[in-house]
Amino acid sequence: MRKNMPEIYNLIQELSWYFGNQGFDGQCCGDLSLVEFMALKKVHKEDDITIQEIGSALNITKSGASKVIDRLENKAYVLRKQSAADGRVCCVAITGKGIEAITKIAERYTDYVDGMLKNFEPDAVDNVKNVLEELVNSVRKQGFIKSI
Amino acid sequence: MRKNMPEIYNLIQELSWYFGNQGFDGQCCGDLSLVEFMALKKVHKEDDITIQEIGSALNITKSGASKVIDRLENKAYVLRKQSAADGRVCCVAITGKGIEAITKIAERYTDYVDGMLKNFEPDAVDNVKNVLEELVNSVRKQGFIKSI
DNA sequence: CCCACATAGTTTCCACTGTCAACTATTATA
DNA sequence: TATAATAGTTGACAGTGGAAACTATGTGGG
């Protein structure tokens, strides 16, 4: 095992706790839970995304994904429409209200991050961004941690 | 709003998703959920910690914390004992089995992190560690994100 | 062209979680 | 000593996601 790895793991896990479900009392903003918000972000980034794609992006089953989308649809943040190419496929699209919600929440988080880094020099901020980009690239490449 | 903040926030959130509850299908290792594991880590770091301290460290209610400790105690990973100084206070201590479990899980995560960083030069690894330390110090200072 | 099979999504049943509020037990205070 | 404050537990409850069965649509071999 290489040097520093246990420390790095502990640091990532602690940081993640603050940005995870427990970080904000179950509601990330208004009426959205964290999964709902993450799913909404996916839909925002990739319009006409399918249920399964959402599920695998978030590491939940298609059954779970279907329910997350149910909730988002009930709140009028997304719309389901049948794919023209394949009648089985359900294309999910974000609504104006959805974009509004996502924007507001992202602002709130960004404020929080801004507060975190308020004493960082511009160079240090750039370095933070670069490190995080490299870490995120790595986790994307590795995929989710497999449970035993 | 300063430059890079939205990007940094998005990167942290994506990274956190991989290390959060969804990152490993609800079970982080063997028979522990993520909250249970985080609570166990707290107990390990600070022996004779109280229920409320665990709750506030993890941002859950004392009721929730009590149940997490219930589960850990049923699995024989921790022990409850009454405080000698104050009969109301419940000191929680980790057992040998608990230490074993925590060690095994930490190893698994550390392997994963090691895989993430396998192509990083030693200097880059040090830089990652420093950045994460600074970020964690910042979140500790700011505390949990308040929901609206 | 039809039937078997594959695939996308939904639904039902279920177990797990954490909160709220009420409760018990203990300690502090006036 | 009576009252209030505090630590922790418990019961009722709602939210959540998984497994498996189900529906509906598409595909391919005969």
Residue A141: phi and psi, rounded to 5, are -65, -40
| Residue A84 C-alpha from the chain's centroid | 28
Closest CA to B48 of B96, B77, B89: B89
Percent of chain B with pLDDT over 90: 82
HEC-encoded secondary structure of chain A: CCCCHHHHHHHHHHHHHHHCHHHHCCCCECCECHHHHHHHHHHHHCCCEEHHHHHHHHCCCHHHHHHHHHHHHHCCCEEEEECCCCCCCEEEEECHHHHHHHHHHHHHHHHHHHHHCCCCCHHHHHHHHHHHHHHHHHHHHHCCCCCC
Tell me which of B17, B31, B111 to substitute to probe the interface with A (most A C-beta atoms closer than 10 Å).
B17
Model confidence pLDDT, tens digit, residues B94-140: 999 999 999 999 999 999 999 999 999 999 999 999 999 999 999 99
Both tokens assigned to A68: 């997350």
pLDDT at position B148 is 55
Model confidence pLDDT, tens digit, residues B48-92: 999 999 999 999 999 999 999 999 999 999 999 998 889 899 999
Q: Where are the alpha helices (DSSP H) in B3-121?
A: 5-19, 34-45, 51-58, 62-74, 96-116
Percent of chain B with pLDDT over 70: 93
In this complex, which of A112, A117, A139 lies closest to B18 when CB atoms are compared?
Answer: A139
Chain A positions in Cβ-Cβ contact with residue B29 (cut-off 8 Å): 147-148
Query: Which top CATH class is A27-142?
Result: mainly alpha
pLDDT at position B22 is 76
* Assigned fold of B25-142: Arc Repressor Mutant, subunit A (1.10.10)
Chain B within 8 Å of A146 (Cβ-Cβ)? yes
- Measured CA to CA, the distance from residue A106 to residue B36 in angstroms comes to 29
Chain B within 8 Å of A3 (Cβ-Cβ)? yes
Percent of chain A with pLDDT over 90: 80
pLDDT at position B52 is 97
pLDDT at position A148 is 55
Highest mean pLDDT among A16-20, A28-32, A74-78: A74-78
Domain boundaries of chain A, sorted by first residue: 27-142
